[in-house]
Structure 1
Amino acid sequence: MSVREIAQVEEPLMWRRVFPGRVEQVRNVRQLVAVLLADEPCVDDVVLAASELFGNACAHTRSGEPGGLVVVDVRKGHGGAAIAVTDQGGATEPRCGQADGLGERGRGLLIVQATAAGWSWYGDQTARTVTAVFR
């Protein structure tokens, strides 16, 4: 189910919140998603994806610089949910990489890809949005 399909479902719900682009805010992002989607079977996967996408925005874009911001959108419709994270852009594009052995880096989008029904991104060096859709 795509974000467009969720948006076309009868009575879809959407919430948006802007967070400072600091890694310490990941906890608040997780809590927000968990509360908003508490009755969805996919809530744990969406919370995990939100955490990974927010962390990537802080680590790899201008959103992680002093004064940077990250926008988190949560969408819910019958049969699905979606998380979209918009950052302030940067020099690199989102892509599934390779994990660095036993290290902690390189797994974020691999995890999103493994848990979501689909994911995509759009934007450029000034702003990018990464969206993951769940059934």
Structure 2
Amino acid sequence: MANYYHQLSLKDTFSDCKDLFIYDVPSFFQLLEQHFDISLFIPQTFYHAFYQHLGRKRDYPLTAFLSALILQKIFPIPTDSLLILLLHLCKELREFCGFSKVPDAPLFTRFKLGFAGHIELMFQQMVDYTEPICQQ
């Protein structure tokens, strides 16, 4: 009996994830929580810079901002204001990111400007991790 194999493609996988995001939001975020741990990609220097910058406790966790930015890139959300609106409207998105309340637009802007170098380094580490997987 011949074995038939189906080659998985990144396009098909992305399309399936996008459909899951549109039609079954809770399952989509459950899938992400099971298979994606953003804290593995955050450099220790980023943690230190973020939490020591003000010298006091932050209202929003670092992982919440980064999760929101990643989702903004995965699902092309063109503006921070649209991202914030989606965070307000979608409880599952807000919970997945780790926001108990939604930050305002200037706070997102300050985060991206103030930590741009750290964000770039983190995304580069993600590329270094995922590129060999995609090449296979």
Normalised TM-score (structure 1):
0.29
Question: More strand by proportion, 1 or 2?
Answer: 1
Normalised TM-score (structure 2):
0.29
